[in-house]
Structure 1
Amino acid sequence: MSDDQNTTAAEPAPAPSALPAKPIPWPQVGFAAIALFAVAGLAMAWLSHSRLLSLEQELVRRQANSQGEASEARAQSRQAQDLSRDTAAKVALLDARLAEVALQRSQLEELIQSMSRSRDENVIGDIEASIRVALQQAAITGSAEPLVAALRQADERLARSKQPRMEGVRRAVVRDLDRVKSVSVIDVATLAIKLDEVARLLDELPLVASADKADALQSVRERRAAKPAVKPAPVKGQEPGWLDAANERWQEVWGLVWGEARSLIRVTRIEHPEAMLLAPDQRYFLRENLKLRLLNARLALLSRQYDTAQADLRDVQALLERYFDPQSRKVGVANELLRQVQGQARQVVLPRPDDTLAALTAAVPGR
């Protein structure tokens, strides 16, 4: 108020001729300003309230929308999870199918590669397989026939192929075939037959303790029949007299009596005196023991145990020489059969076709 007064005092005094100034109604102005401010505040409060209501409505609407979207998202997530599980199962099934297809493809490729091998490689593979099988058969049977047959068949196949690069293989086959053929192989079947023949003869072989006199008389008679007396042809016009006939008859009778008397007595040198002391039951067991030794030798031959067979054959031959009559023809036949078996029953090492196998390995590229 002082400021207003100072301002009023500072103002120049109105002219005397001017009208007097009306005083300003400041209280009314204040009330009007207050009312104006109140109205403005109310308007602003109403606007704020309406805006707040609209915001609340928008928030409620958005919350409802978000809840709907959340429920829809949960449903979609469940569907996505189900779909992902189905997809994972389908992917696993596709992986299994893919692995199966890959396996089938690899098998098909191997089949195509095996079918696409050249004719020479197939021939080489067949020849090598047949030779290895023949080697096993030869080792089992102890015979060179399987190996000879395999090498001969390989030579024929290589001759039909007529490939220049297979000539080295064919030359190796021919060399191995000649080496295998040069080896003398034991004929086990023939040796077994000879041993069976000796076993059959054992029951007929005469012992030293009981020399067979009937055989001796028969041998004398056979020698006498083999050399008949040659009678001189009668001269034409002369008939033999009764004296000549009687003399001839007397010589025949005397020769027969003398031969019979000589056959009754035999003088034999016995190297082993104990052979004469065999009892009848011991003779039986001797023959059976020899048969058992021959059977053992036969089994040893069949199993290719040639050392055992040789030992049994030596024992049999020693017993034959000690207890049986060496002058008998059957004993000589049995000894000869045993010597033949002893000479042939030996270990034979079959040569391996190493040249052929090496040539086959070198003929296939990539080995």
Structure 2
Amino acid sequence: MAEDTAPDTKQVVAKPAKAAKPKKSEKSAQKPSGGRVWGVLALLVSLVALGAVGYGGYIYYIKQDLFSTDVVAELNRLKSGSARNGERQAEFGKSLDRFEQRLNSVKEIQDTLASAIGGLAQDLGRKRDDWALAETEQLLLIANYRLQLARDVETAVAALRAADEQLQKLADPSLLPIRKLIADEITALQRLDRADIPGIALRLGSMASTLEQLPLHVERRFATAAPVTGVATTESTSLNTLQQMWRDFLGLIRIRKTTTGQKPLLPPEQDYFLRENLRLMLYGAQLAMLQGDTGTYTQNLKSARRWIGDYFDTETQVVTNMQEELQALLDEKIVVELPDVSASLGALRDIASKKLAP
């Protein structure tokens, strides 16, 4: 039984020995891992030491550079740089002030231009009604000027009608009283008894051009007597001579009865000036008629008619016709009293001032 138990003990001992072999392998595996840790630690320590050495060298270098620098010179340099910076800053401040002054002047110019442009825009931006009223006022002024200064009724009527058309286009009920005044003024002008002014002017010009055809008194007074007809050709030569002498004698002496005083004879060299003066009288009457000067027109015609009766032969047909023509012009009424057409202008100005008032 002892033998039996011994083998069993060996077997039991042997079994643990075989199980311990793995433990040795674990120890051998743990030893390399511990060496690696120590190696990493050593590397870290060496790096830290190297960094400390580098930092210490840097500090030493900085301190050596600081001690080697001239501090006083550096301070002086900084002070001079600061002074220069102050001068530059003062110059910059002066430049900034000048710039501000220029900027203010530019702003003033801009404000002036803006106000001028605003005024111009306000003038150009007037309403259409304001422009139409201004045009109508100008037309009414033209009518008054042409009627009062030039006595031109036709142009005055045309201007009044144009003004009425302008007001009609506005279609403003407040302008109806002005249109009524314009209509009354047009009617008053159309009722005027107007003479044929252009026709009278042409008649005066025609008479002025025919003054050369008027015979003077001296031309008829010294006209030769007409020869006596009906003398027999069979009479003797002595009788013919006596008759011829008698005819010559009758031609030298002429007896004429006149009821008026004899006008003085006009020298031949004054004939030209007489006709030119008469021509100026007729042209003066023509101009006075166109200007509406009734006094000058009448005076010139009367003077021309009197001169023609004094210095020209009134027994001839051409002189008689001219005197009758001048008398007809004197009898014709060429200028009448013109009506007042300023009422519509005054009313329009009143309405325009109310519309333009702020």
TM-score interval (norm. to shorter): 0.5 to 0.7
- Where does residue 202 of structure 2 map in the other structure? 193
Matches within 5 A, 1:121-160: 121-160=130-169
How far apart in 1 are the matches of 2:87 and 2:266?
A: 117
- The SS at the match of 1:274 is coil
Q: Report the CA distance shift for 1:72/1:282 in structure 2 as closer, same or farther (over 3 A).
A: closer
How far apart in 2 are the matches of 1:158 and 1:211?
A: 68
- Say which of 67, 78, 103 aligns to 2:116: 103
Q: Is 1:360–2:348 an aligned residue pair?
A: yes
For residues 46-76 of structure 1, give each alpha carbon's deviation from its aligned partner in whole angstroms, at most 9, with x where no partner exists: xxxxxxxxxxxxxx99999777645433331
- Cα shift at 1:190: 2.4
> Percent identity among equivalent residues?
24
Q: Report the CA distance shift for 1:208/1:101 in structure 2 as closer, same or farther (over 3 A).
A: closer
Matches within 5 A, 1:52-63: none
How far apart in 2 are the matches of 1:69 and 1:353?
A: 89
Q: How many residues align?
A: 254
Q: TM-score, normalised by structure 1?
A: 0.55
- Where does residue 183 of structure 2 map in the other structure? 174
Question: Does the Cα contact within 8 Å between 1:194 and 1:341 map onto a contact in 2?
Answer: no
- Where does residue 15 of structure 2 map in the other structure? none
- Cα shift at 1:337: 1.8
For residues 120-150 of structure 1, give each alpha carbon's deviation from its aligned partner in whole angstroms, at most 9, with x where no partner exists: x433221111121333344553312221101
How far apart in 2 are the matches of 1:77 and 1:146?
A: 78
Say which is worse superposed, 281-290 or 74-83, in terms of deviation.
Answer: 281-290
Q: Which amino acid aligns with 1:311?
A: Q
- Where does residue 34 of structure 1 map in the other structure? none
How far apart in 2 are the matches of 1:323 and 1:162?
A: 67
- Where does residue 82 of structure 1 map in the other structure? 95
How far apart in 1 are the matches of 2:103 and 2:267?
A: 98
- Where does residue 91 of structure 1 map in the other structure? 104
* CA RMSD after TM alignment: 4.0
Q: TM-score, normalised by structure 2?
A: 0.57
- Say which of 273, 289, 294 aligns to 2:282: 294
- Where does residue 85 of structure 2 map in the other structure? 72
- Say which of 156, 164, 168 aligns to 2:173: 164
Q: Which amino acid aligns with 2:120?
A: Q
Q: Report the CA distance shift for 1:69/1:278 in structure 2 as closer, same or farther (over 3 A).
A: closer
Question: Does the Cα contact within 8 Å between 1:209 and 1:276 map onto a contact in 2?
Answer: no
Q: Report the CA distance shift for 1:79/1:189 in structure 2 as closer, same or farther (over 3 A).
A: same
How far apart in 2 are the matches of 1:178 and 1:269?
A: 59
For residues 240-280 of structure 1, give each alpha carbon's deviation from its aligned partner in whole angstroms, at most 9, with x where no partner exists: xxxxxxxxxxxxxxxxxxxxxxxxxxx98644342485666
Q: Report the CA distance shift for 1:278/1:358 in structure 2 as closer, same or farther (over 3 A).
A: closer
Q: Which amino acid aligns with 2:339?
A: P
How far apart in 2 are the matches of 1:134 and 1:350?
A: 12
- Say which of 289, 295, 301 aligns to 1:313: 301
- Cα shift at 1:154: 2.3
How far apart in 2 are the matches of 1:323 and 1:182?
A: 43
Q: Which amino acid aligns with 1:133?
A: I
Q: Report the CA distance shift for 1:131/1:329 in structure 2 as closer, same or farther (over 3 A).
A: same
For residues 23-57 of structure 1, give each alpha carbon's deviation from its aligned partner in whole angstroms, at most 9, with x where no partner exists: xxxxxxxxxxxxxxxxxxxxxxxxxxxxxxxxxxx
Q: Is 1:332–2:320 an aligned residue pair?
A: yes
For residues 124-179 of structure 1, give each alpha carbon's deviation from its aligned partner in whole angstroms, at most 9, with x where no partner exists: 22111112133334455331222110112223344454432222111000111122
Matches within 5 A, 1:214-293: 270-275=258-263, 286-293=274-281
How far apart in 2 are the matches of 1:288 and 1:109?
A: 62
How far apart in 2 are the matches of 1:96 and 1:67?
A: 43
How far apart in 2 are the matches of 1:313 and 1:132?
A: 34
